[in-house]
């Protein structure tokens, strides 16, 4: 399991890359620093406005100290289920278009 970490989050410890194997694209997760036993894998999903990202959210580092210099995405907790589905579909379309652009560059 891999969890989301916004840009600038000190807990971010991995990144996703597209690797071509026999001409087929595969998403591969690579560590960006040493990862301790039982440490969560975290990378930036690259999608803005995810429901679990709340404005003003305080992040906490591994020592339990608040990190205030990291900005979260806008608060989406007020959205109706229908609006949330619309937001997620837009986010999926955004990811698909990013993947297509990356593949064209290869």
55 or 26: which leads in pLDDT:
26
Residue 34: the pLDDT is 94
Q: How far is CA 33 from CA 12, 23, 49, 61, 101, in A?
A: 9, 29, 26, 15, 27
Q: How far is CA 74 from CA 2, 11, 56, 69, 85, in A?
A: 22, 20, 9, 16, 16
Domain of residue 93 covers: 2-105
Domain count, the chain: 1
> Mean pLDDT lowest for which of 6-10, 28-32, 42-46, 64-68?
64-68
| pLDDT band at 103; cut points 50, 70, 90 | confident
Residue 4: the pLDDT is 85
Q: Note the pLDDT tens digit of each residue in 54-94.
A: 654 555 444 545 454 444 444 555 556 676 667 767 777 77
- Is it the case that residue 32 has pLDDT exceeding 90? yes
80 or 46: which leads in pLDDT:
46
- Is it the case that residue 11 has pLDDT exceeding 80? yes
């Amino acid at each position: 399991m891999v969890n989301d970490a916004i840009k600038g989050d000190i807990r971010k410890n991995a990144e996703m890359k597209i690797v071509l194997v026999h001409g087929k694209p595969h998403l591969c997760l690579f560590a960006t620093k040493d990862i301790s036993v039982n440490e969560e894998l975290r990378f930036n999903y690259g999608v803005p406005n995810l429901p679990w990202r709340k404005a003003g959210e305080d992040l906490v580092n591994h020592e339990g100290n608040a990190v205030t210099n990291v900005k979260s995405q806008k608060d989406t907790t007020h959205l109706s289920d229908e609006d949330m589905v619309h937001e997620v579909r837009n986010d999926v379309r955004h990811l698909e278009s990013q993947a297509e652009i990356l593949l064209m560059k290869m």
